[in-house]
Structure 1
Amino acid sequence: MTYQYFATVGRGLEDIAAQEIISLGGTNVETDFTGVHFEGDTELLYRVNLWSRTIFRVLLTLETVPSRDSDQLYESVKSFDWSSYVNPSQTLAVHCTGKSPRLNHSHFTALQVKSAIVDQQQEKYGIRSDVDTENPDVIINAHIRHNKCTLSLDSSGESLHRRGYRPAMGRAPLKETLAAALLYMTDWTPDLPLVDPLCGSGSLPIEATLMALNIAPGLYRKDFAFQKWADFDPDLWEKVFAEAEASEKDTMPIITGSDAEEDVIIQARSNARACGFADKVKFYHQRLIDVEAPADHGVLICNPPYGKRLSETEQLFPLYKLLGDVLKQRFKGWTGYILSGNKELTKKIGLRTSQRIPVDNGGIPCTLLKYELY
């Protein structure tokens, strides 16, 4: 049976996520603002949750109902038959996104949806589901747009960017989903060496290693929300999971990360151990000035600090100048990529860019700068 799905993604990553979903078998794929609509069967739902590197969560679309105001929303939701999706013995949580002129408070809208569902249960069974905002059995998503409400089931639960492998995080780490998307934006392929000379807790090198070894990022998670659904198919899930485990590769190129701060390198190594490939990706406690290219070609990528205030920006001028010098002097034959949210700083790099790709990093307008290093 074919179902309608919607994958939520970071702003600006819609096209990349769409290509990923297509590669996993999704059909009728269409991008939307911070999301991707697609169709597929239950096996695809399991596979996208397990394999996607760039999306936050996958929603199963149930129904779109009229919601001109709170009263109409309540009646519309209550008239929908919820018995196939949540029973009174299960806990539930309702998350609301979007708004309309008369429904512009997400918490109130979520309460209306919740009340309609449990009131239907009370009338039908004499008992109702309890609300559990921490670890619910069923997560319902209500999206308000143009006086209509799209009701969905959240199949992922905790956001998919939380892979489950990262117990340790450095300061202001890249989300894993963005790190993976950045790698897709570059010319890097899983057979090329990759270096991150300002790696922090290791998001970029670790995501690159997952790609190079063809490891499904969802393998590190404890569970997904769909495993508590009434129609969950454990045999099908075991098949999809086993196929993912069997697809891991043994060989990979040189992938390294380094940082001048010893504590974040300790964190990066801890994260690599949690992935089970501490012996594959190498992390070095090393100053930027001492970084050397480990091969005659490859991709260097990094996310240096941006500096929020003028005084911080000025303090970072030497770092960016040094970064440009290292690229120019030590990485001839390579391609460099620098993600930055500060134009004043990137001017200090002193190299001509061959491409500039707009990127949203947690609400900060950034640019991924490409440098051909001859």
Structure 2
Amino acid sequence: MSQRYSFIATCPKGLEQLLASEISALGAELNRETVGAMSFSADVATAYRICLWSRLANRVLLVLTEFRGESADALYDGLKNLKWDEHLSTDSKITVDFNGQSNDIRNTHFGALKSKDAIVDYFLASGTQRPSVDKENPDVRVNVRLRKGYITVAIDLSGESLHRRAYRSSGAMAPLKENLAAALLLRADWPGMASRGGGLIDPMCGSGTLLIEAAMMAMQIAPGLLRSRWGFTGWRGHDQIAWDSLLEEARALRSKAMAKDWPEIRGYDANGKVVAQAEENIDNAGLSRFVKVSRRELAQLAMPTHRTVPEGLLITNPPYGERLGEQAELLHLYRHLGQAMKAHFTGWQAAIFTGNPDLGKRMGVRSHKQYQLLNGTIPAKLLLFNINSEAFVVERDQAQLQDKNAASDVQLTAGGQMFANRLRKNIKRLSKWKNKNEIECYRVYDADMPEYAVAVDCYGSAVHIAEYMAPVTISEEDAERRLREVIEAVSQVFSVSAGNIAIKERRRQRGKDQYQRQAPRNSFMELREGQAKILVNLFDYLDTGLFLDHRPVRLDIAARAKGKRFLNLFSYTGVASVQAGIGGARFTTSVDMSRTYLQWARRNLSLNGLSEARHRTEHADCRKWLKSCEDQYDLVLLDPPTFSNSKRMDDVLDTQRDHGELIDDTMRCLAVDGLLIFSTNKRDFSLDESVAEKYQIEDKTRWSLDEDFSRAGKPIHYCWYIRHR
């Protein structure tokens, strides 16, 4: 019978039970489980098998001795008393890894130095040559651990950590360790799904670790087969015959597996450089025929249609806050991921490994099991989902939960009734157009009657009222009375309580008091424009985050954007960039001076599954940015404010005065066959004649006004399509 030894296998915290099952299945006899480690008994061949086949272990340590001691002298004496010539040759290169401390041994460096001295002195005392020290490429790595007054001495059979499979030549930002990736797949029951022909998709695959581990697991390829260095080859007790036999067996199994068809494994990432890294790693692993990756935004996530897959696993490790930005942006990424799961992957399983578990609750799908783990030093959770209707969480629309009968009892004044009748007439006139085009956000009323100088906009089930400045001939009391009548009529017509109507009320004061503002609610609503999801906030800001009158232009951008480089100047909340991204733009750049609006833009992009890798935001004065821009764009939106004297600007921006220079600077960045869309809301604007002399101009003003804005009189905005001659 082969000699049996005592061993310790280490692993990341939280994987102990999985590791115990694994090494037991590989033939070891389990002894004791501790945090991040499992002790076991086995012969040398079984220990080698665990080194080669363990998907979870960090190290396999051959225990030489354990003794009581906390002092430096006890450490030295205990190690010097070992028969080191049974384990090391005199010409061996060694290094010592020391863990732990005591009152006498204050740091790991001192502990390692004392341990090394004991080993070297053992050989010197016997009159033989002493081993040399090589921290980078040792023949033998000695592991010494001091814990709770006991010192454990072992030979590290692994060499470097077993999680290093030797296929990763380069890694994306914050890659998963290979053994942690394997643990996620085991917890999600990927081996079971793979055995039944299921597929696997990672929509944010990074450098491809989950994909490669999944393929090796499904194909039963030994995870250590690509490694060339092992800790046991310099150990004097090494059994080369046993090791060669294990290698031959593993290579034969791999060759057999490579000849078969296996479940489809696909990965996507928005970052082209990261996709290239993943492809290189997959090729290093020899799995290019079985694992496919491509550059794709989360917005494009859907079930592959070229092959029928009976079941499958959607697994991913989304970006953490430090990798993508603020929690608010991540929230919308998670919501989009949850919506894609519900829309395209019903019947599949999902596994989301997240360092932001609270965001997992916002996905709209209820997880049925969770595991607490660490990703390096970051606390994280693995959330498991059965993607079916029973797990879907229906988010309640607060606007629909209110008592819609609350407004029905309000008795309108004659003026209020007249205003209500006009609202109903406009709603009827617009209904066919609105329904045909699936429009959620539109203008119902815009100062149609001089007595009621307000704009009324619908945002889904919510209503927004903006009061225009009353003429000086109208008293403050009359202005307030008419606004009350407007609010009561809107409340009754739309069956919404007055407290849930957003009101932007303009006063005659100037400066900061020009607009009366309700207390901030941080109340963002998610609505649709075409294929894009948009966040609007009706209460907290002067504007809602969506300029309704530019709807046709934005939708035209979406229709034109495929393969284009899109630039959004004075980008506001980035809705046009979202439309370009949804339309398939190669990349977008959004430039604005407001950090608040750029953050809002990043939220909108995240909500639509559009990553910062391809959709960049730039905090800058657009005029300065254009002067230094050296890039070329195929499609540009230039929609400057009518007037701006921001403190962050060196001088005042006056669109009437400055638009010629702005257009010239923008055209310098426009590709030869590109299109510039120039728009302004200045009511008495006049396009400089020099612009028409230099460039090909097409007046799109009337076309760019949908039915809710196509009223008589001066248009709410002007719009031109400008090209190089």
Same fold (TM over 0.5): yes
TM-superposed deviation, 1:102? 2.8
Q: CA 1:254–1:311 in structure 2 vs 1: closer, same or farther (change >3 Å)?
A: closer
Q: Which residue does 1:280 correspond to in 2?
A: 290
Q: Which residue number in structure 2 is paired with residue 143 of structure 1?
A: 145
Match of 2:201, SS?
strand
User: In structure 2, the residue corresponding to 1:20 is in which secondary structure?
Assistant: helix
Q: Is the CA contact (8 Å cut-off) linking 1:54 and 1:181 kept in structure 2?
A: yes
Moved more, 99-108 or 165-174: 99-108
| d(CA) in 1 for partners of 2:41, 2:158 | 16
TM-superposition CA deviations, 1:243-278 (whole Å, max 9, x none): 111123223111111111111111111111111120
Equivalence for 2:335: 321
Structure 2 residue aligned with 1:307: 321
Judging changes above 3 Å, is the alpha-carbon distance between structure 1 residues 24 and 274 closer, same or farther for their aligned structure 2 residues?
Answer: same
4+ runs deviating over 4 angstroms: none
TM-score by length of 2: 0.50
Q: Would you say the 8 A contact 2:212–2:287 is kept in 1? A: no
Does 1:215 pair with 2:228?
A: no
In 1, distance between residues paired with 2:168 and 2:271?
18
Cα shift readout 1:61-93 (whole Å, capped 9, x = no counterpart) = 000123231112111211222110112211111
How far, CA to CA, are the matches of 1:122 and 1:247 in structure 2? 47
Following the alignment from structure 1 to structure 2, what is the Cα–Cα distance between the partners of residues 310 and 238? Answer: 46
Q: How many Å separate the matches in 2 of 1:255 and 1:309?
A: 25
Cα 1:200–1:22 change in 2 (3 A) is same
Trace 1:56-67 onto structure 2 (pairs within 5 A): 56-67=58-69
Equivalent residue pairs, number: 374
| 2:344 match | 330
Aligned-pair CA distance for 1:99: 2.6
- Which residue is equivalent to 1:11? 13
Counterpart position of 2:279: 269
The residue identity in structure 1 corresponding to 2:294 is: Y
Q: What aligned pairs does 1:222-237 form with structure 2 within 5 A after superposition? A: 222-237=228-243
Instruction: Return the match for 1:206 from 191, 204, 212.
Output: 212
1:1-374 equivalence runs, <5 A: 1-189=3-191, 190-191=194-195, 192-248=198-254, 249=257, 250-294=260-304, 295-308=309-322, 312-374=326-388
- 8 Å CA contact 2:30, 2:38 repeated in 1: no
Structure 1 position 340, deviation (Å): 0.8
Displacement of 1:371 in angstroms is 1.6
Give the partner amino acid of 1:264.
V
288-297 vs 59-68, greater mean Cα deviation: 288-297
Question: Unpaired runs of 5+ in structure 2?
Answer: 389-725
CA distance in 1, matches of 2:230, 2:312: 36
Aligned partner of residue 87 in structure 1, secondary structure? coil
Moved more, 196-205 or 293-302: 293-302
CA distance in 2, matches of 1:232, 1:343: 46
Deviations 1:22-80 (A, max 9, x none): 11111134321111111111111111111111111100000012323111211121122
Q: Is 221-230 or 293-302 further displaced after alignment?
A: 293-302
CA contact (8 A) 2:90 2:128 kept: no
TM-superposed CA distance for 1:338, in Å, is 0.6
Paired-residue identity, %: 40
- C-alpha distance in 2 between matches for 1:324 and 1:138: 49
Deviates more, 1:28-37 or 1:328-337: 28-37
Structure 1 unaligned spans of 5+: none
- 1:116 aligns to what SS in structure 2? helix
Post-superposition Cα deviations, 1:116-162, rounded to whole Å, max 9, x if no partner, equal 11111111124311111011111111110222211100001011111
Alpha-carbon distance in structure 1 between the residues aligned to 2:88 and 2:28: 26
2-side partners of 1:267 and 1:100: how far apart?
44
Query: Aligned equivalents of 2:261 and 2:46: distance in 1?
Result: 28
| 1:255-308 residue CA offsets vs partner (Å, 9 max, x unmatched) | 111111111111111111111120111112111121222335211110001204
Cα distance in structure 2, aligned partners of 1:160 and 1:343: 28
Which structure has the larger Rg over C-alpha atoms?
2
Structure-2 separation of matches of 1:360 and 1:169: 19
Larger deviation: 104-113 or 290-299? 290-299
